[in-house]
């Protein structure tokens, strides 16, 4: 491939291709040979391709096609999920996007099963939905902190697979990206949040406590990849110490996903020639 990728991002970043997450190096750019400048330049070019594909999806949705795309973003605090929403989502038409973040479940959400709030947030026809955290939180912090008994969270992997299979069968293409930041880089980013008043809002004192569970989180993420990475709803693991690379990678993965839908512009549901004549004759 001539644009800097030595291998398609879908192959270089697939969870099954990267080995144990505990040995993963977040300071790498798998499959991409270029540097930051090349990556940034390529991202702005590829962003236009992505925007065109999104418009095709939206146009088809407006014309009765029921398909949609769901991008699930997971990753530790500071991994850059918000940056993906802003910088990759930001390259597309906001009309065609639905963005949802998932925090600690509310009282109401806790009265329902863990997929209840997820169902309600799914993208409508023609849209790309972005989840900033997702149903996977229910097997990540929930597992790490034992928020429900093991017998409960253990069942969730199968429930998630079933939920995602049904979703795919009903026309939603799912792509799951885990942004991986190294422990050192996370410390730098947390430090920055404490040094800059414009970043205080992102800081949460609990993030330092969560760092204490780093290895438990890695184990919980490994279980997620082992049990829920399937061709129908694949996981990609994205080294994110370099923000430019994470953004480029997610952009490429979305382009791949949208291209696979083989969308075409919807045919006119009116007589084009007759309309031209009417318009020519109009005042």
* Residue 197 contacts ligand AMP per CB under 6 A: no
CA angle 105, 108, 112 (to 5 degrees): 85
Is the Cβ–Cβ distance between 186 and 77 less than 8 Å?
Answer: yes
The CB-of-157 to ligand AMP minimum distance in angstroms stands at 15
Give the footprint of ligand AMP on residues 106-135 (CB under 6 A).
Answer: 133
Q: Binder to ligand AMP among 51, 105, 115, 152 (CB under 6 A)?
A: 105
Among Mg ion, ligand AMP, none, the one that 138 touches (CB under a kind-dependent 5 to 8 A) is ligand AMP
Q: What share of the chain is helix, strand, coil (3-state, %, to 5)?
A: 55, 15, 35
The CB-of-147 to Mg ion minimum distance in angstroms stands at 17
Which strands, in side-by-side order, build the sheet including 97-101?
A: 97-101, 128-132, 68-75, 172-180, 235-239
The CB-of-72 to ligand AMP minimum distance in angstroms stands at 13
Q: How far is CA 102 from CA 33, 123, 188, 196, in A?
A: 34, 15, 25, 25
Q: Binder to Mg ion among 65, 77, 164, 241 (CB under 5 A)?
A: 77
Give the footprint of ligand AMP on residues 33-72 (CB under 6 A).
Answer: none
Among ligand AMP, Mg ion, none, the one that 137 touches (CB under a kind-dependent 5 to 8 A) is ligand AMP
Question: Which residues bind to ligand AMP, rule: CB under 6 A?
Answer: 102-105, 133, 137-138, 141-142, 147
């Amino acid at each position: 491939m001539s644009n800097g990728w030595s291998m398609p991002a879908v192959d270089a970043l697939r969870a099954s291709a990267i080995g144990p997450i505990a040995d993963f190096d977040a300071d790498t750019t798998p499959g991409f040979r270029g540097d930051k400048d090349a990556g940034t330049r390529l991202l702005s070019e590829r962003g236009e391709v992505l925007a065109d594909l999104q418009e095709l999806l939206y146009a088809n949705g407006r014309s009765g096609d029921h398909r949609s795309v769901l991008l699930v973003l997971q990753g530790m605090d500071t991994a850059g999920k918000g940056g993906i929403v802003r910088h990759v989502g930001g390259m597309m038409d906001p009309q065609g996007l639905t963005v949802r973040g998932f925090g600690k479940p509310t009282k109401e959400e806790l009265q329902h099963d863990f997929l209840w709030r997820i169902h309600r947030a799914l993208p409508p026809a023609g849209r790309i939905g972005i989840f900033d955290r997702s149903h996977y939180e229910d097997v990540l912090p929930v597992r790490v902190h034992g928020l429900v008994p093991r017998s409960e969270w253990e069942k969730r992997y199968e429930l998630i697979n079933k939920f995602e299979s049904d979703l795919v069968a009903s026309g939603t293409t799912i792509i799951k990206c885990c942004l991986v930041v190294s422990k050192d880089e996370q410390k730098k980013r947390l430090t920055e949040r404490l040094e800059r008043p414009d970043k205080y809002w992102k800081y949460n004192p609990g993030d330092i406590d969560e760092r204490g569970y780093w290895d438990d989180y890695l184990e919980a993420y490994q279980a997620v990849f082992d049990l829920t990475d399937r061709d129908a709803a694949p996981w990609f693991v994205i080294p994110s110490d370099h923000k430019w690379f994470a953004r480029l990678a997610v952009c490429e993965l979305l382009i791949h996903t949208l291209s696979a839908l083989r969308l075409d512009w919807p045919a006119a549901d009116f007589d084009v020639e007759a309309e031209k004549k009417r318009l020519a004759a109009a005042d």
